[in-house]
């Protein structure tokens, strides 16, 4: 006798299609908006979608094929309804932030959902998408970042601005950088000699 907890082959195929549908619907929504944005626009719809996510997760572990399909289908519909509502309201994307360095023109986007990467590429192909974890790892590898992080922790809200030489100065960038990077203790020792 087959184990009722083991999915049937036809169900496995239906489940694969269902998971693909859920992923597509959720990704379409998450590429543009967070659930917090939905809560601001329609708290009731937000609560219903959150509840449906919970129902889907519970059904996923139930081994009840009918319940899995029922809750999965409802989740697809829920994400599609949320997407339509946000689009109808004209809500701006909030799933990512875009920053630009004016001097170099470099543009980056930072967002939690990898689904946002496609949205950012669609809007601005020259913009590179990063997750917060990627940014943290990259910054950790930069020399001197520990000092910058310590300053930002000591002065919350302080902005880290890139240093750029004054274009009207006659001093070279190398001279200015050398002065800025020199050891003050060394300068004092030199002055006393």
Query: Quick one: pLDDT at residue 186?
Result: 47
Q: What is the tens place of the pLDDT at every residue in 4-52? A: 666 568 889 999 999 999 999 999 999 999 999 999 999 999 999 999 9
Confidence of residue 193 (pLDDT cuts 50, 70, 90): very low
Query: DSSP string covering 106-144, please?
Result: -EEEEES-THHHHHHHHH-TTPEEE-HHHHHHHHHHSTT
Structural tokens at position 64: 């009840």
Q: Which helix or strand (DSSP H or E) is residue 63 part of?
A: none
Confidence of residue 180 (pLDDT cuts 50, 70, 90): low
Q: Phi and psi (nearest 5°) for 122?
A: -65, -40
Structural tokens at position 58: 């519970």
Say if CB 101 and CB 162 are below 8 A apart.
yes
So where are the chain's domains? 9-89, 96-164
**Higher pLDDT pick, 3 / 63:** 63
Say if CB 71 and CB 59 are below 8 A apart.
yes
């Amino acid at each position: 006798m087959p184990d009722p907890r083991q999915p049937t082959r036809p169900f496995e195929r239906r489940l694969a299609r269902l998971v693909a549908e859920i992923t597509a619907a959720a990704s379409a929504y998450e590429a543009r908006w967070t659930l917090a944005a939905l809560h601001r626009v329609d708290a009731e719809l937000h609560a219903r979608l959150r509840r449906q996510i919970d129902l889907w997760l519970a059904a996923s572990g139930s081994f009840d094929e009918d319940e899995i399909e029922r809750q999965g289908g409802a989740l697809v519909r829920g994400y599609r309804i949320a997407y339509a509502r946000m689009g109808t309201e004209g809500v701006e994307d909030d799933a990512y932030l875009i920053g630009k360095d004016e001097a170099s023109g470099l543009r980056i986007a930072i967002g939690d959902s990898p689904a946002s990467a496609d949205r950012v590429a669609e809007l601005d192909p020259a913009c590179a998408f990063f997750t917060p974890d990627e940014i943290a790892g990259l910054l950790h590898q930069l020399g001197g970042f520990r000092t910058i992080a310590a300053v930002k922790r000591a002065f919350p809200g302080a902005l880290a601005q890139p240093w750029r030489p004054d274009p009207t100065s006659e001093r070279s960038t190398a001279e200015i950088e050398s002065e800025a990077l020199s050891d003050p203790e060394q300068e004092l020792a030199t002055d006393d000699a």
